């Protein structure tokens, strides 16, 4: 058995993804690029409410899904040190 690279569900070895949605989400998540100045602006100069507005505006401007953008921003912010890594993300599977 193999696992879906997006959601982690068990799938047959002959399949790459468990569904078309997971495939589309996976490749859109890869395509999302977060500029460092944008990341700095939302974490240093914005409060929570302003950050949400900026993220929604950024998603709309680039035609990206907000939930995928938030996931990518959180990942990049963790790597850049703007937010602390959670205990589950630091463990190896």
pLDDT tens per residue across span 4-26:
999 999 999 999 999 999 999 99
- Nearest to residue 57, comparing CAs of 48, 47, 69, 45? 69
Given this model, what pLDDT does residue 87 score? 57
Q: What pLDDT digit, counting tens, does each position of 66-91 carry?
A: 999 999 999 999 999 998 877 554 44
Domain boundaries, the chain: 1-31, 32-86
pTM of full prediction above 0.85: no
Given this model, what pLDDT does residue 89 score? 46
| pLDDT at 41 exceeding the cut of 80 | yes
Question: Residues 54, 46: contact at Cβ < 8 Å?
Answer: yes
| Other Cβ atoms closer than 10 A to 52 | 14
């Amino acid at each position: 058995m193999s696992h879906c690279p997006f959601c982690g569900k068990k799938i047959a070895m002959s399949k790459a993804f468990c569904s078309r949605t997971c495939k589309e989400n996976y490749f859109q998540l890869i395509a999302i690029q977060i500029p460092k100045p944008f990341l700095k602006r939302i974490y240093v100069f914005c409060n929570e409410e302003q950050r949400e507005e900026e993220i929604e505006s950024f998603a709309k401007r680039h035609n990206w899904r907000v939930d995928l953008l938030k996931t990518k921003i959180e990942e990049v912010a963790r790597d850049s040190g703007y937010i602390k890594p959670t205990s589950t993300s630091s463990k190896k599977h």
